[in-house]
Structure 1
Amino acid sequence: MIKIPGRLYKYETLNARTLQNIKGQILYFGSPLGFNDPYDCALRPNIVTPNDDVVEAVRAAYLAQERLTTGHPHEFLTKTTQELREMLLRAADSETRKYTDAFLHSRGVTCFTEKNDDLLMWSHYGGTYKGVCLEFDTSTAPFEKISPVRYSQSLPDLHVSEILLGHNLEQVWQLFCTKSESWSYEREWRAFHEVAGTQYIYPSEALTGVYFGPDIDNESLEIVCLILAGQNETVRYYKGERSTTEFRVEFKEFTYTPYLQAKKQGDAP
């Protein structure tokens, strides 16, 4: 059983869309066609050449079914083991291509990470240190079905029985949660939606923290705090600073007080 971290994070460049999503409590499930990794969700796995026993097992399974989803009944009855092996490899390749193409053009994906202080993540996804990193409580939806990304040096192997007979559809599904080891620093988790472009509205308590990049301007920081002050009483705020001794970002929690309230309290001019 996969153990989901209690908190997951989402880096965001601070722009009008991000502010709208924060205000609307929206997680956006975008199309993987826009991902910056050309292999992402578009893997062509290595289809393992089946041995004679596997070929004959697939033949028997197909002949035992009233409906055949690949080929024609007489082919399973008349082809030699080698001829059937070649046919199954072609069919598995075709099915995999159709499956991945359909996923790319229909499904939505939203991505999270286990880390809130990664330098590359802040650079690539956090608006070059001028954005925010949102912290979510994973005990709320949609995190109950979230999956970790697996990192590998090589493309995954799949067997024809997994593809054509559906004996292990989890292995096929893992194609969409597998990336090169080059991306392992991201420590990514993914949630999926059946329809790309879907906006999922999460409960306010799901957002537990906001980490502001070291280079964010004060006006942008205050805009985010003002938005959340009107809809989330428990969210916590952290301001990032560059460490003077290490290559890292350090965060310190702060309390946000709106200007008018601070003025009434005598804490602002």
Structure 2
Amino acid sequence: MDELILERTLMVYTLPPPNTILYKYYNYASALRFLREGLVRFSPLASFNDPFELNAYPGSNITQEALGNAVKTAIIDVIDKRESLQVANRISQYVMAYQQGMYQHYSPAEFAELLGEQVAAMQPVSAPPQAARTLHAEYARRIGAFCLTEKFDNLLMWAHYADQYKGMVIGFDPHKLGGEFACFAPVNYRDAFPSIEDVNEAADSYLGRPHAVPDSLDAFMLENVFVKGHDWRDEKEWRAVRFHECEPRADHETYDISKQLIQVPNEAVVSIHLGCRVTDDQRSMVCDLAYLFNSATEVYKSRVSHTRFELEFIPAIARWPSLPYDDHWEIINT
């Protein structure tokens, strides 16, 4: 694993507009632990519930004939420049052998023509090679993500991520998270996997040319980290991503979790929305911890709406209206 490639990959920073708040859904116990310690976990992508995480392989609309013609040109360029290749497949092995003095009864143009025709005649590969699957699995174990969302009131996310409304949603100001969150961007939702459409880029990557492999890997892996299937689009997810220095293991649970924890600046926490199944005693505990963490944090309680499929929120120190359809509330005297 080339760590330099990974480090270059994780250097994209995209912030939402000013005054935007991004939210994290927590169960009650995890939220209390965060408010006491101020640590968030960058979980390895391999531990996520979506089997497509970092598991999309680049497709292409490039025909085998076009790829074969581009490979011919690239091989001539490689031989002319005496360029070393990273072994990618049988074709690149032949090119390396030619550079070492074999097959010299062919001119460079004839040799390139022969190999290009072989590429053009190949059947398109329908499944990724084992080497690619191994590489992706290693990235998935070593890249961790802290996932946020633009929405604090998504009912499915409350049920799934906040312990069936018994947890809470903590709001973060992304502009105050700091340099530890150096790779930060929204998730792009799509139906198809990312693809390589430049035929010359595809040919260079196919041969394993040194200038092409890191660049294309950087770009594709980075895009892949921030891509999910279209069915997830309602989550409106943002991700902060980090590279874990720990040695990858077959089972992500064997990681030293402490190396995945990052301190969040207290001023970055701006709001807490409590689920409708949080008890009064639990609400009091959260209010106390929130004040100690950041006295400016706004805490809200919720209840099920009487008229719509949604939660209603008011400040935690407010009293709910006595009548079901009365939207008036007042601050409790304390």
Q: Scaled by the length of structure 1, what TM-score is found?
A: 0.82
Take 1:248 and 1:60, find their aligned partners in 2: how far apart are those partners? 64
The residue that corresponds to 1:220 in the other structure is: 282
CA distance 1:60–1:101, change in 2 (3 Å): farther
Q: Deviations over 1:98-122 (max 9, x none)?
A: 4311111222111110101011111
Q: Scaled by the length of structure 2, what TM-score is found?
A: 0.67
Q: Deviations over 1:241-260 (max 9, x none)?
A: 2222221112212349xxxx
Take 1:130 and 1:254, find their aligned partners in 2: how far apart are those partners? 15
Q: Does 1:10 align with 2:28?
A: no
Contact conserved, 1:11 with 1:132, CA < 8 A, in 2? Answer: yes
Take 2:195 and 2:49, find their aligned partners in 1: how far apart are those partners? 23
The residue that corresponds to 2:272 in the other structure is: 210
Q: How many equivalent pairs are there?
A: 256
Report the aligned-residue RMSD: 3.0
Per the TM alignment, residue 53 of structure 1 is displaced from its structure 2 partner at its CA by 4.2
Take 1:66 and 1:177, find their aligned partners in 2: how far apart are those partners? 33
CA distance 1:254–1:99, change in 2 (3 Å): same
CA distance 1:62–1:96, change in 2 (3 Å): farther
Q: Which of residues 64, 67, 70 in structure 2 aligns to 1:54?
A: 70
Take 1:2 and 1:60, find their aligned partners in 2: how far apart are those partners? 40
Counterpart secondary structure, 2:221: helix
Take 1:218 and 1:136, find their aligned partners in 2: how far apart are those partners? 24
Greater alpha carbon shift after TM alignment, 169-178 vs 66-75: 66-75
Q: Does 1:185 align with 2:197?
A: no
Counterpart secondary structure, 1:9: strand
Q: Which of residues 67, 70, 84 in structure 2 aligns to 1:67?
A: 84
Q: Does 1:138 align with 2:174?
A: yes
CA distance 1:38–1:162, change in 2 (3 Å): farther
Per the TM alignment, residue 214 of structure 1 is displaced from its structure 2 partner at its CA by 1.2
The residue that corresponds to 1:80 in the other structure is: 115
Per the TM alignment, residue 4 of structure 1 is displaced from its structure 2 partner at its CA by 1.7
Q: Does 1:31 align with 2:69?
A: no
The residue that corresponds to 1:19 in the other structure is: 32
Runs of 4+ in 1 over 6 A off after TM superposition: 87-90
Take 1:227 and 1:60, find their aligned partners in 2: how far apart are those partners? 67
CA distance 1:46–1:65, change in 2 (3 Å): same
Q: Does 1:252 align with 2:314?
A: yes
Per the TM alignment, residue 152 of structure 1 is displaced from its structure 2 partner at its CA by 1.3
Counterpart secondary structure, 1:219: helix
Take 2:310 and 2:275, find their aligned partners in 1: how far apart are those partners? 12
Contact conserved, 1:27 with 1:110, CA < 8 A, in 2? Answer: yes
Higher fraction of strand: 1
Q: Deviations over 1:162-201 (max 9, x none)?
A: 8541444323321122111111111111111111741000
Per the TM alignment, residue 65 of structure 1 is displaced from its structure 2 partner at its CA by 5.9
Counterpart secondary structure, 2:133: helix
The residue that corresponds to 2:247 in the other structure is: none
Counterpart secondary structure, 1:134: strand
CA distance 1:82–1:2, change in 2 (3 Å): farther
CA distance 1:244–1:99, change in 2 (3 Å): same
Take 2:155 and 2:204, find their aligned partners in 1: how far apart are those partners? 39
Larger radius of gyration: 2
CA distance 1:75–1:24, change in 2 (3 Å): farther
Greater alpha carbon shift after TM alignment, 48-57 vs 137-146: 48-57
Take 1:88 and 1:60, find their aligned partners in 2: how far apart are those partners? 23
Counterpart secondary structure, 2:267: helix
Take 2:220 and 2:194, find their aligned partners in 1: how far apart are those partners? 9
Take 1:25 and 1:183, find their aligned partners in 2: how far apart are those partners? 28
Gapped regions of structure 1 (runs ≥ 5): 257-266
Gapped regions of structure 2 (runs ≥ 5): 1-12, 100-107, 245-254, 319-332
Q: Deviations over 1:135-170 (max 9, x none)?
A: 001112244521211111222323535854144432
Amino-acid identity (%):
23
Take 2:22 and 2:72, find their aligned partners in 1: how far apart are those partners? 46
